[in-house]
Structure 1
């Protein structure tokens, strides 16, 4: 077992794999400008689901603290472990804002199914996983597999005329129709409809990662948001759209 394996095991991450960079679909080539020659990608999954609550009004991914904070800490330690296994190799880490199609790459690496909702579906954790990756010039032996797709049952097909998750994140004034759509939506941030409708979302295992099991916030109110100091606010997934956007959504729900 190498340093990377030991480190990821310590971080309770057991779903990871290497993939040839040549097998990746490039979506944002400008983000590769500072990466030099890339030969291999290390893909890893971090499950975040830790149960639900009846009065939840935040998307499940936003219940714990912002997952970008987790990846920041994870990658700092992973960089050191990677250097022990691959001395002198480059290390460029991404999560969410990636130059590659993360779901496609993870599926090719054998980490899960490619869902019709464009989510990766992992066998034990369902669609409730974040994907992170490391791009490196280390030539690590690995192969690309065929993309395995879901059963195409159609249950995740969106029944709304507009993406409600995007609408909760939209800045500025909303139209009358948009306001009505949000009022009829149970969440003030995000949307889980296409995830929860998936048959693979039933009876999933809870995350073993401590970060996603602590400081959870299932419900947000106007008063709670107003009383948050900047440090607490910036630690939540919805903070990137600023307070005004979230306060607007709360007001539409009378929270």
Structure 2
């Protein structure tokens, strides 16, 4: 007889605020080796993904005597309606509303681990929330948390796909839960709605085309991506927003995920004017802070272009002399579109003083656009 049962673990988890719990075998990821190899060989993975396949499928690297994986899911489909600002705004994915979910889920996993250790003195546990390269959704799928949607998101029939996932590796054996097969049927709404055309087939994604990835990708983006980003500041929820399962999913009341300093539709001028202190106040407590201030400001510059925000002109002029080179370049590009000839003297002055070649090239493009000249190179 085991020191603690699955039922006891699930009961404690549900009482502590975890919405779904499942159990998977530590060997459940080995079957994805060929899939990952195919993705790498065909260039479908983005540069923030781990390239070492073994690290993505082998939990024994993290816990040598692991016998089970406990998978948890917490819904962030909160009861909340975002206010529409009076000025131009940038949109923030639901994943960054409220307190950073990594902290929330680690806290829940620690409580669950302590409960298990109180029953099992010799138990060993490793807690994971996005802090490792293991295939998190694949673990959840094999633990019966939900099924794979055609958008590659994990979908639970009750809670939909707005789920934060976490895992606990244990050296205690539990019978794995049964997998749930796809219930998407003939629905292709997510494939049709994807603004980046990243969903290149059913259950197949080119991560490099995903706009959620574009919002965290550093440096310059292509002109095509700039247009597609719209007003996105962090993340993209489109493929989930159109999913029928999310239309009927259970809404939850969780104070942790209620937006505070960072709003779902946040004033662009405030973001464009962020200094380090203000960035920490607004973005610091959320999961959107990890890529840093400059990438967020770059996205706000792009959003100001796509929303034709004339109120952004003065903050953009200030950014022409900021410390970051690619923000200087992007500001010049934005001013050429929003302010045209009026900003030409400011851009030309910045161009003369610019030392960074990439930023200088982008400023040159801005100047040529204002003058009506052709600039052929559109990849940044």
Question: Which range, TM-score by smaller chain?
Answer: 0.7 to 0.9
**Cα pair 2:106 2:128 within 8 Å, conserved:** no
Number of matched pairs: 252
Q: Which runs of 5+ in 1 are unaligned?
A: none
Deviation at 1:241, TM superposition (A): 0.9
Task: Tell me, in whole angstroms, the C-alpha distance in 2 between the residues paired with 1:99 and 1:85.
Answer: 30
| Cross-structure match for 1:238 | 288
Q: How does 1:139-150 map to 2 (within 5 A)?
A: 139-140=173-174, 142-150=175-183
Q: Rate the CA distance shift 1:243–1:214 in 2: closer, same or farther, 3 A.
A: closer
**What stretches of structure 1 move > 6 A for 4+ residues in a row?**
none
Deviation at 1:214, TM superposition (A): 5.8
| Cross-structure match for 2:72 | 44
Superposed CA offset, 1:53-103 (max 9, x none): 264711111122221121232223222112013221111111234443322
| Cross-structure match for 2:303 | 253
**Cα pair 2:110 2:127 within 8 Å, conserved:** no
**Cα pair 2:93 2:236 within 8 Å, conserved:** yes
SS at match of 1:195: helix
Deviation at 1:147, TM superposition (A): 4.1
Superposed CA offset, 1:25-47 (max 9, x none): 46753374241121101111100
- The counterpart of 2:16, out of the listed 3, 6, 11, is 11
Q: How does 1:1-255 map to 2 (within 5 A)?
A: 4-5=9-10, 7-25=12-30, 29-30=54-55, 32=59, 33-50=61-78, 51-53=80-82, 55=84, 57-140=91-174, 142-152=175-185, 153-157=187-191, 158-161=194-197, 162-182=209-229, 185-213=230-258, 215=260, 217-221=263-267, 222-223=269-270, 225-226=274-275, 228=278, 230=280, 232-254=282-304
Task: Tell me, in whole angstroms, the C-alpha distance in 1 between the residues paired with 2:9 and 2:180.
Answer: 25
Q: Rate the CA distance shift 1:177–1:126 in 2: closer, same or farther, 3 A.
A: same
Q: Rate the CA distance shift 1:210–1:9 in 2: closer, same or farther, 3 A.
A: farther
Task: Tell me, in whole angstroms, the C-alpha distance in 2 between the residues paired with 1:189 and 1:195.
Answer: 15
Superposed CA offset, 1:137-164 (max 9, x none): 1122x13424411324111112434321
Q: Which has the higher contact order (CA 8 A, sep 6+)?
A: 1
CA RMSD of aligned residues (A): 2.6
Task: Tell me, in whole angstroms, the C-alpha distance in 2 between the residues paired with 1:29 and 1:92.
Answer: 18
Q: Rate the CA distance shift 1:39–1:99 in 2: closer, same or farther, 3 A.
A: farther
SS at match of 1:22: coil
Instruction: Point out the structure with the larger helix share.
Output: 2
Deviates more, 1:160-169 or 1:28-37: 28-37
Task: Tell me, in whole angstroms, the C-alpha distance in 2 between the residues paired with 1:144 and 1:234.
Answer: 37
SS at match of 2:266: coil
Task: Tell me, in whole angstroms, the C-alpha distance in 1 between the residues paired with 2:178 and 2:12.
Answer: 26
Superposed CA offset, 1:210-239 (max 9, x none): 322363732223415446253553211211
State which structure, 1 or 2, has the greater radius of gyration over its C-alpha atoms: 2
Deviates more, 1:39-48 or 1:29-38: 29-38
**Cα pair 1:86 1:138 within 8 Å, conserved:** no
